[in-house]
Homo-oligomer: A and B are copies of this chain.
Amino acid sequence: MAKAHVYITYKNGVLDPQGEAVKDALSSLGFQGVGDVRVGKYIEIEVEKSAPDEIRGEVEKMCQELLANPVIEDFRVEIPNGNNNPQPPKSEA
């Protein structure tokens, strides 16, 4: 079993009400100078494949079909100890 890490974030320009709420709450708690806060998802998935490219392909398909909403979200897949050349976030839109 190999592990993949998935990061899902709202696209730039998409309003993030949860992030706004966190920012306000941090200010209320006394944290000063807090700028933009964006809340996304972090998913760890175990898959049976072993080649990094195969894992990446499979997990990107999972993102497109289920994990991310490509209309408003970007996703990024990382394979621990795999080939993680900088890759731009992907989306279908």
Task: Name A residues whose Cβ lies closer than 8 Å to a Cβ of B.
Answer: 1, 7-9, 19, 22, 25-26, 29, 31-49, 58, 61-62, 65-67
Contact = CB atoms under 8 A, between A and B. Distances in A.
A44 B38 contact: yes
Given A29-B62, A35-B45, A39-B41, 4 more contacts: A9-B42, A34-B46, A34-B47, A41-B41
A41 B44 contact: no
A29 to B, nearest CB: 6
A39 B66 CA distance: 13
Given A22-B66, A62-B26, A67-B22, A38 B32 contact: no
A38 B45 CA distance: 7
